[in-house]
Amino acid sequence: MQMTHEFGLWFVGIMSRWSKDLRRARLRFAAAFIAVGGVLLALYSFPYAEHGIGEGGFAWYLGAYAHLAGAVIHLADPTVRVSGAELVGRTSLTIAKNCDAMDVNLLLIAAMIAFPAPWKRRLVGIVAGVGLLSVVNVLRIVILYQINIHAPRAFEFIHAEVFPLAMVVLAVGAFGWWSRWSRQAELAPTETPAHAQA
Amino acid sequence: MRKPDRGTRARSATWRQRRGVGIALAAERAPLALLPRWPPRSIALCLGLALLLLAPWPGYGRLFRPLFCAFGNAVIVVVGAGGDSAPRFSAQSRGGRTAPDAGTTDWTVWLAPTGGDGPPRPPLPLETRILGYTPLALSLALTLSFPLSWRRKLRMLGIGLALVFIRLALAIALPVSRAFSPHPVAPGPVSELVWYVLIDLPAMSYVAPLFAWWIAFAATRDGSAEP
């Protein structure tokens, strides 16, 4: 009985030290991020059969994305038409698989799942973060459409370098803000005075 | 010091006492501050350094190309990718032309077989800026801007650059092996998936240095006792 009690104390001590070691917690977060992010990105990037259900679903999804972006572009350019995943107006743009910023979305989701927080706050963060990134991504497509009309030489640099960096910076900022909010919510006292007096 | 328990909170008479016990209980279960606080000055420094290094300065590409070719050829030799074809990177295409050429830039290198009995193949162009230069520049900007001791910064730079170079080595070895070798280092679907996830996604050249920085930050500590 005494042995069991001592083993219990030793085990609790080990677990306590493990959970409080910041360095290990940070590396654990990195490992969880790799695992979750790897699975999500693999599901997204998997080379599905060309005429299978997976690619069909992607084609429908990219078409819906193109219609959404086309509706916003239509406000400035009424000539724009959407055909499949292609926007055709004063210039043409095709919404390809990576144009939906899904890679940044999935990495943000992976970071939020890997971060130690209650599931309720994770869900709030994922919905808000993905919503924000999706809105900004539609704006990105609208801006790229305008750049392709007015400054086509700058298109490649802005498309391939400026916007990916901006989307990653935005996702990192959103994650940093969410993690701070989540931690502060955790630290806040659970009980508030029913009738506090000065 | 005696730890507060929920019974203590329930027995506390006034709201002030209950609030005090509530705060103590919250501190007991407080999550670790995983993310470091990044001072605004460091954020500004990091963005400034990143913009400086990533701006399209003329001549950067011509300086970077030979370094990329040396690294790429070393990877091909060490991994044995390419087999008898002995493909090698070169800063100049076979005709001796460099940029500007149709669809090429200052950052373009060419990959061509230098041996073997197979049919002659035209050199393949490869853009090295986003694949190779951008992650290195971001690694440098992230590590130098964060307020830490120089000794730790150097250790972090070593770890971060090593991870970025490993990704770059994969980005070279997998497609070269698949295109030139009769026995690729990884089977087709595996190398295709690794390529898509680690290399091809546009965000990866920006996320990889950030993640490498995080690993380096987590793995090092100020002070001589820690590795």
| Cβ proximity of B131 and B61 under 8 Å | no
Closest Cβ–Cβ partner in B34, B197, B217 for A42: B197
Residues 6+ apart with CB under 8 A from B142: B46, B160, B209, B210, B213
Given a cut of 60, is residue A198 above it in pLDDT? Answer: no
Using a CB-CB distance cutoff of 8 angstroms, which residues of chain B are in contact with residue A20? 32
Residue B162 lies in a domain: yes
Which chain A residue lies closest to B30 (C-alpha atoms)?
A: A187
Which chain B residue lies closest to A179 (C-alpha atoms)?
A: B35
- Residue range(s) defining the domain that contains residue B117: 40-219
Distance of CA A182 to the CA centre of its chain: 17
A56 is written with which tokens? Answer: 């069909």
Cβ–Cβ gap A187/B30 under 8 Å: yes
DSSP B104-137: --TTEEEEEE-SSSSPP-PPEEEE-IIIIIHHHH
Using a CB-CB distance cutoff of 8 angstroms, which residues of chain A are in contact with residue B189? 47
Residue B20 lies in a domain: no
Residue B8 lies in a domain: no
pLDDT tens per residue, range A79-130: 999 998 899 999 999 998 888 899 999 999 999 999 999 999 999 999 999 9
Using a CB-CB distance cutoff of 8 angstroms, which residues of chain B are in contact with residue A98? 201-202
| DSSP letter, residue B84 | G
The alpha carbon of residue B26 is apart from the nearest alpha carbon of chain A, in Å, by: 5
Residue B2 lies in a domain: no
The alpha carbon of residue A174 is apart from the nearest alpha carbon of chain B, in Å, by: 13
Using a CB-CB distance cutoff of 8 angstroms, which residues of chain A are in contact with residue B191? none
Cβ–Cβ gap B202/A165 under 8 Å: no
Any idea how long chain A is?
198
Given a cut of 90, is residue B164 above it in pLDDT? Answer: yes
| Amino acid found at A147 | I
Residue B14 lies in a domain: no
Tell me the backbone φ, ψ of residue B65, rounded to 5 degrees.
-55, -50
Arithmetic mean of pLDDT, B182-200: 77
The alpha carbon of residue A168 is apart from the nearest alpha carbon of chain B, in Å, by: 7
| Cβ proximity of A174 and A108 under 8 Å | yes
Residues 6+ apart with CB under 8 A from B11: none
| Cβ proximity of B145 and B46 under 8 Å | yes
Cβ–Cβ gap A187/B26 under 8 Å: yes
pLDDT tens per residue, range B144-158: 999 999 999 999 999
What's the pLDDT at B130?
A: 92
Using a CB-CB distance cutoff of 8 angstroms, which residues of chain A are in contact with residue B130? 160-161
Distance between CA atoms of residues B158 and B202, nearest Å: 25
Residue B155 lies in a domain: yes
Number of domains in chain B: 1
Beta bridge mates, A22 = none
Using a CB-CB distance cutoff of 8 angstroms, which residues of chain A are in contact with residue B210? 168, 172
Residue B72 lies in a domain: yes
The alpha carbon of residue B217 is apart from the nearest alpha carbon of chain A, in Å, by: 9
Closest Cβ–Cβ partner in A25, A104, A165 for B34: A25
| Of B48, B123, B33, residue with least CA distance to B85 | B123
| Of B136, B135, B157, residue with least CA distance to B146 | B157
pLDDT tens per residue, range B18-27: 666 555 555 4
ipTM of the complex: 0.77
Residue B18 lies in a domain: no
Arithmetic mean of pLDDT, A191-196: 47
- The band of B224, judged by pLDDT with boundaries at 50, 70 and 90, is very low
What's the pLDDT at B99?
A: 46
